[in-house]
Each structure stands twice: as C-alpha cells, then as structure tokens.
Amino acid sequence: MAGQPVMIMGEDAQQLRDRDAQAHNISAARAVAEAVRTTLGPKGMDKMLVGSTGDVTVTNDGVTILDEIDIDNPTAQMIVEVAQTQEDEAGDGTTTAVAVAGELLKQAEDLIEQEVHPTTIIRGFTAASEFTRAEIEELTTSVDGNEELLRAVAETAMTGKGAEANKEVLADLVVRAVQAVTIEADDGSTIVDVGFVESGTEIGRGVEESELVHGAVINKDPVHPDMPTDFDEANILLTLDPIEASEADVDASVTVTDASQIDAFLDAEEEELTEKVELLKDLGVDVVLAQKGIDDVAHHYLKEAGILAMRRTNKSDIQFLREVLGARVVSDLDSATKEDLGRGSVRRHETTDTFRFEGLNDDSHGVTIMLRGSTSTVIDEMERGVEDALDVVATAAGDGRLVAGGGAVEVELARHVRDYADSVEGRQQLAIEAFADALELVPRTLAENAGLDAIDALVDLRSAHDDGKTNAGLDVFSGEVVDSYEAGVVEPTMAKQQAIASAAEAANLVLKIDDVLDAGEGDDDEGGPGGPGGPGGMGGMGGMGGAM
Ligand code: ADP
Ligand code: MG
C-alpha cells in the first residue's frame, strides 16, 4: 500500500552570514518539511531511515522521522521543535504542523521576491493565524459523549499507520480506556487523564484477543510457589519497606565468635521476620507487594499465613497499583495502618501467569490495555498506534470538539481567510492570502500522496465548499469528494487549531531569524569568521528593508 521508501540523510551544518542567509534558513526549514510532508495522510509514504550505526527504521510517522534524522541546522531544528511541541500538546497533527510551516515559508519566499518585507509577512501570518483559531470554532461539532464519534476519531488517528489493519478492535479498546479514566470535574468540565491508562503486551495470540483490563496487570511471580493466587476481595499492602531483618542484625554477624552466637543471631533474625509477618496478619493483609526485597526466610511464614507476596515490584507498577487499588504506599511497615491498604480482586491469568488487580474502592481508577499479536513487530506497531490514538481520543473527549478531516476544515478555513484578507489594507493582505493558500496544502498533499491529481482535487473541493458543503473532504481511497464527517474522518478541533498555530509560529520564527542576523551584523557581529560576507549581507537586507 505504501509508496516507495525514501532515504533521508543528515545535513551538515553550515553557518552562513551573508545575504544568502535568509534563503538558506528558509530552504533548510523547507527541506525538513518536505521530507515529512510526503507521509501526510493515510496514503502517505513510508520513509526508510538509516541510522549512524546502520540500523534501519521504516516508518510513516512524522515525529519518528524527525526524531531519527540528524538535523544540525538551527533553522531546521526549529521546525523539529514545533513538531515536538505539537506531539506533546495534542498527540497528533505533527505532520500537518510541519508541512504547513514549510508551505508558509515557501509562500514567504515568493512574497520576499515580490519585495514584501519579512516583518510584514510575519504580521500577516500572525493575524491570519489568530483569525483561523477563532474561525475554526464555527466549523466545530460537539462530541457530546458520542462513542461512535470517538471511535471514528481513534480510527482516523490510526489510518495509514501500522496499527491500521486492526483499527476497529483497537479503536474500541482505546475509547473504552479513555471513558474509564474520564471524570466530570466540579465545575462541569471533563478531565481525561491518560496517565491512568497503562498498556501491556503479549506475543503469540490473535489481535482480537486484546482486551481492556479494569485495573493493573502485573508480571511477577509470587515469592513462594504455594501461595494463594486468587482473591475476590483482598486487602492489599504496597510497601517501599523491605521485609528483611534490620541492618543492625546483619552488621552484628561480623562480630560473632562461636556457633551458639550464630544460632542466637539466626533466631533473632527469624524472630524479627516472623514478627513482621504477624504484623501483616494483624492488619488483615491478604496480598503484599514490596518494591524492595523480601527475605527468603519470610517466604515460608508468609505462605503459612495465607498471604500472596511479591518482591522487587517495579516502582511504576507500585505507583499504578496505588491508583487502581486506592491504596497508600507504606514506607515504614511498623507504622502501617488499615487505612493504607488497598482493596481489590486478584486473579492469576491461566495462560500468561500474570496477575490482574482490579480495584474495589470508590477512589480506585486505572485501566490496562492488553495487546496481543502474533509477532513483536506487529505488537510494537499496534502499541504505537494505540498510544497515538489514546492521546487523540483523550483530546477529543476532554475538549469535546471535532472538525472534519480529509482536508475539509482546511479548505473551508482557507475560504474564510481569503474573505478576511479582503478586509485588510496594504501588503499584509498578500501575506494573509498566502496563509490561505498554505492551508490548502493539506488537501493538496493528501491527494498527491494518494496518487491523485492535486489540482483537480482542490478544484473539486473548493467548488463543493462554494456550494455550502462545509465538511466536504477528500476520500483518499476513491479520490472522490465526500462528507468527511459522515465518512467518519474526524479530528479533534484542538489538535487542528494547535497545528495551524504552531505552523504559523514556526514559519515566523524562521523569518524572524533574518531580522536578528540583519541587526546583529550591523552592531555587534561576534560571528567573526563570516566577516567578508557581512557587508554584502547588510546590503542585501537593506534592500529588503526598503521594499516594505
Ligand atoms: P498528522 O501527523 O498531521 O496527524 P497524518 O499522517 O496522521 O498526519 O495525517 C493526518 C491527515 O490525514 C489529516 O488531515 C486527516 O484528516 C487525514 N486523514 C486521515 N484519515 C483519512 C481518511 N480516511 N481519508 C482522508 N483523509 C484522512
Ligand atoms: Mg495523525
């Protein structure tokens, strides 16, 4: 399905301080954008990345690409940072942000050639970006707890990625996971915390056996094979304190001189350990998970007491269990109380031998998506897809706003931005019009990447929008113009809003650098080596200034 792999090599840094600096900055940034642009959309190409050690990654993911290529150029680096911010804040729309930024810079190059000063362009882009941010509200649909819409959001996020083949199963898991960690705040707002969604994987079974566990899955063996493994309602203790004899006793062993002293010492140690187990019994503990060790001598006593115990539990597992069970993590066993205990059911899974903990307390929360697949490659791809979709669905569920994808919202916004440009005086108008053109890069690229004629597609889309079909977008599989919303191609408004704003910001940053260089070379040029180019640069920039 994917096109031919493309190889990207790192670009050597080159510091230019002459009049080509501006063109160079723009082209470096555009080169990055161009590399990523061809991956946009479900039919985007895969890229093959060859690392410095010869390792090869094949991916369709914009962020992965930007992570992997080694970018020395500071302007190109800015574009990468935009992508990272977009990923962190919205979890999606990275390729869009980068590609639109590249297109804005291309438009800016044309404008600079027409003697429009970068400052004017920056102002125009900023105005258009702010206008777009507000205007997108008009094109937004509310989620209103509609599960089907959320599943469509998840599927849209996974389309074209490795997880696609299983997107229905995975979308359903993702939506249920998000719902499980969604709470209504006192002020009526919706809070979705994907920090309470964990994922686990198991190789060797069908994807359709993947499931959502309402709790934690812990891959640990009990310290003793004969311990009980299943509880309907257990009191569970999470502890940072090891269940071991205290340090003082261990040190004392150094000074023993005869056998009776050793026996006495061992007795003392054993007594201390049995006391600790007694203490757990008195508290009514059924299950104990220690982040640190549990002395071998204690294993037997714990088993005798009917307690299920696990040692060396991961810190992250302990923290997640705390949420799932509504427990407090105890740092000193001697001062543990009943209130510290979590309540939950415990089950040992037959085929995997993993333990499932499900909370019974009112304040317990946290779910685990257990992914199953035939090979680790399949599972890795699924996990990436699920992670992406989780963020996107969380954004959509939390924010509650959606827009139509497939280029629909961009074409509609471009129309509005063009109307807005008409109301703006002077050369800034040109920059605002250019912004509208840059928005349409999205449908053009979706078409191009799908092997369709980009111009025809855009003409069809524009005419549908002129007829009032605000959700008309491209079906990249059939090449037809469809109602993207009805086709289930929907994206969170917030991600789109953020992507467009980030693109404008990135383009402006790159354009602004020239101003800095311009001024820098005039007053306190510390970039000595660039000396000879300096005066030429001034001349070039000076000419630009006059053009404003
Ligand atoms: P990004 O990193 O920007 O999210 P993607 O490669 O995920 O980039 O592509 C997102 C774009 O693909 C969006 O414009 C989205 O509307 C579009 N898209 C996703 N699924 C479909 C589909 N089935 N048909 C048409 N467009 C789609
Ligand atoms: Mg995406």
Q: What is the pLDDT of residues 357-404, one digit of tens each?
A: 999 877 778 999 999 998 888 888 888 889 889 999 999 999 999 999
Q: How far is CA 543 from the centre of its chain?
A: 44
When computed from its CA atoms, the radius of gyration of the chain, rounded to whole angstroms, is 30
Q: Which of 372, 388, 390 is nearest to 200 (CA)?
A: 372
Give residue ranges with CB within 6 A of ligand 1: 39-42, 44, 62, 92-96, 156, 159-160, 405-406, 442, 446, 474-476, 489, 491
Report which ligand 1 atom has the smallest distance to the Cα of 407: 14
pLDDT value at position 83?
A: 84
Q: Which of 443, 430, 545 is nearest to 107 (CA)?
A: 430
Range in 285-294, 463-472, 517-526 with the lowest mean pLDDT: 517-526
| pLDDT band per the 50, 70, 90 thresholds, residue 262 | confident
Report which ligand 1 atom has the smallest distance to the Cα of 93: 3
Burial 68-99 (b: 16+ CB within 10 A, else e): bbebebebbbbbbebbebbbebbbbbbbbbbb
| 352 flagged as catalytic | no
Q: How far is the CA of 42 from the centre of ligand 1 (A)?
A: 6
Range in 68-82, 177-191, 200-214, 499-513 with the lowest mean pLDDT: 68-82
Q: Among 61, 96, 478, 502, which residue has the most ligand 1 atoms within 8 Å of its CB, making it the best to mutate? A: 96
One DSSP character per residue, 353-385 reads --EEEEE-STT---EEEEEEESSHHHHHHHHHH
pLDDT value at position 1?
A: 36
Share of the chain above pLDDT 70, in %: 83
Rounded mean pLDDT, 68-83:
77
Q: How far is the CA of 162 from the centre of ligand 1 (A)?
A: 14
Q: What is the pLDDT of residues 236-261, one digit of tens each?
A: 999 999 999 876 555 555 566 677 77
CA pair distance 387, 166, nearest whole angstrom: 14
Q: Which residues pair with 367 in a beta bridge?
A: 197
For residue 298, is pLDDT > 70?
yes
| 395 flagged as catalytic | no
pLDDT value at position 247?
A: 62
pLDDT value at position 130?
A: 98
pLDDT value at position 256?
A: 61
| pLDDT band per the 50, 70, 90 thresholds, residue 51 | low
Q: Among 1, 156, 448, 471, which residue has the most ligand 1 atoms within 8 Å of its CB, making it the best to mutate? A: 156
Q: How far is the CA of 157 from the centre of ligand 2 (A)?
A: 5
pLDDT value at position 105?
A: 96
CA pair distance 511, 102, nearest whole angstrom: 12
Q: Which of 540, 544, 458 is nearest to 111 (CA)?
A: 544
Q: Among 82, 395, 476, which residue has the most ligand 1 atoms within 8 Å of its CB, making it the best to mutate? A: 476
One DSSP character per residue, 43-73 reads TPPPEEEE-TTS-EEEE--HHHHHHHS-B--
Report which ligand 1 atom has the smallest distance to the Cα of 473: 25
CA pair distance 343, 357, nearest whole angstrom: 9
Closest ligand by atom to 42 CA: 1
Q: Give every CB contact of residue 102 below 8 A, 6+ residues apart in sequence.
A: 29, 30, 32, 33, 34, 36, 37, 79
Q: Which of 183, 181, 543 is nearest to 391 (CA)?
A: 181
> Choosing from 241, 286, 340, 388, which is the catalytic residue?
388
CA pair distance 28, 80, nearest whole angstrom: 12
> Choosing from 95, 96, 239, 354, which is the catalytic residue?
95
Q: How far is the CA of 489 from the centre of ligand 1 (A)?
A: 8
| 70 flagged as catalytic | no
Q: How far is the CA of 348 from the centre of ligand 1 (A)?
A: 41
> Choosing from 46, 61, 295, 340, which is the catalytic residue?
61
Q: What is the pLDDT of residues 418-459, one digit of tens each?
A: 999 999 999 999 999 999 999 999 999 999 999 999 999 999
CA pair distance 18, 40, nearest whole angstrom: 34
Rounded mean pLDDT, 458-487:
97
Q: What is the pLDDT of residues 504-539, one digit of tens each?
A: 999 999 998 754 444 333 344 343 333 333 333 333
Q: Helix, strand, or coil here: 212?
A: strand
For residue 113, is pLDDT > 50?
yes
* 329, HSE (Cβ side, Cα atoms, 13 Å): 20
Residue 100 CB coordination number (10 Å): 29
Contact status, residue 299 vs residue 223, Cβ threshold 8 Å: yes
The per-residue pLDDT of the chain, averaged, comes to 84
For residue 328, is pLDDT > 80?
yes
pLDDT value at position 251?
A: 52
pLDDT value at position 49?
A: 54
pLDDT value at position 237?
A: 97
| pLDDT band per the 50, 70, 90 thresholds, residue 160 | confident
